[in-house]
Structure 1
Amino acid sequence: MRFATRALGVAVGSAALLAVGLTPAVAEDGHVYVRVLTYPSGGTSGGESDADLNFTAARSVTYNNWTINDTCPGDGYRVIARARALLSNGNYANGTWHEDDGTCESDDWGPYSGRELNTSANIVKAGVQVCVDLGAELKCNTTFRDNPHT
């Protein structure tokens, strides 16, 4: 009887961990969010971008509900973002740059859906790169999700 009670306790505990999501990381489609700040000393100026990723194959990912936002207070710099993927050969594949071409008070770029990134090599992980265009250089940050097909 002790064994049965202990086994039941382990089963219940395991089910509880699964219910709250304390499981090993599993690659899956889903949401990505990334933010970059203009000034490292603080403040909220910069930009952010987010999208829902749908990995359709080992070499293809679709971006849905994708937005880019220039965050306030206004710093006078434009915010750009692009789709970005790490490939199995160690190289990166990049989509076209998109811009929130207004001020921080303007509407976001997007949301856009059905934007695809197709590559000639397997995609290990894909995500969004957002940058503040400082003129002489870009200040960027990137967030990725693993591809469940690779």
Structure 2
Amino acid sequence: MRMSLRTLGIAATSAALLTLGITPAVAEDGHIYVKVHTYPSGGDSGGSSYADLNFTAARSVTYNKWVINDTCPGDGFRVIARARAQLRSGAYANGAWHEDDGTCESEPWGPYSGRELNTSGDIMRAGIQVCVDLGDRLKCESEFRDNPHTR
């Protein structure tokens, strides 16, 4: 079978871009996962949150299949999470706090879909912030994905 030079060139270029990790802008949509440990030594105590992000515009992102979970072994602290976005200005926009209001043995919060975070400024990246509420302070971790609409 003969392959034209043009076809061969397109195939080689596509393979090179994939090898370098360069993919279409829609690749920024997708799954995000974040975990916070209660104790500095790590272990499984703490909480986690994950969702599928869908960037719908420069100022809007939708969270689908969003779950917040208090992880075992139980540490006696509640786990909270919120949608979070870094704007072009460098400031952060935050959604409302949600919580896994039970213990690590309870059902997690979610999954919920169609939760939107809409802002008045361009969202450069969006994600989830999950925290263990230690009473006198929050111990938090965050993960983000880039918004393809603000490149």
**TM above 0.5, one fold?**
yes
Q: Give the TM-score of the pair, scaled to structure 1.
A: 0.86
2:52 maps to: 52
Secondary structure of the structure 1 residue equivalent to 2:43 = coil
Q: How does 1:1-150 map to 2 (within 5 A)?
A: 15-16=14-15, 22-24=20-22, 27=25, 28-150=28-150
Q: String of CA shifts for 1:100-123, please: whole Å, max 9, x gaps.
A: 001101111000000000000000
1:14 and 1:106 map into 2 onto residues whose CA distance is 50
Q: String of CA shifts for 1:54-109, please: whole Å, max 9, x gaps.
A: 00000000000000000000000000000000001111000000000011011110
1:90 and 1:18 map into 2 onto residues whose CA distance is 30
1:51 and 1:72 map into 2 onto residues whose CA distance is 20
Secondary structure of the structure 2 residue equivalent to 1:149 = helix
Secondary structure of the structure 2 residue equivalent to 1:105 = coil
Secondary structure of the structure 2 residue equivalent to 1:145 = strand
> Which is worse superposed, 66-75 or 27-36?
27-36
- Residue identity opposite 1:23 in structure 2: G
**CA RMSD across the alignment:** 2.1
TM superposition outliers: structure 1 runs of 4+ over 4 Å:
10-19
- Residue identity opposite 1:107 in structure 2: E
- Residue identity opposite 2:22 in structure 1: P
1:25 and 1:46 map into 2 onto residues whose CA distance is 34
**Identity fraction in percent:** 72
Structure 2 residue ranges without an equivalent (≥5): 1-7
2:58 and 2:42 map into 1 onto residues whose CA distance is 39
Q: How many residues align?
A: 143
- Is the 8 Å Cα contact of residues 32 and 145 (structure 2) preserved in structure 1? yes
1:16, CA displacement in angstroms?
4.7
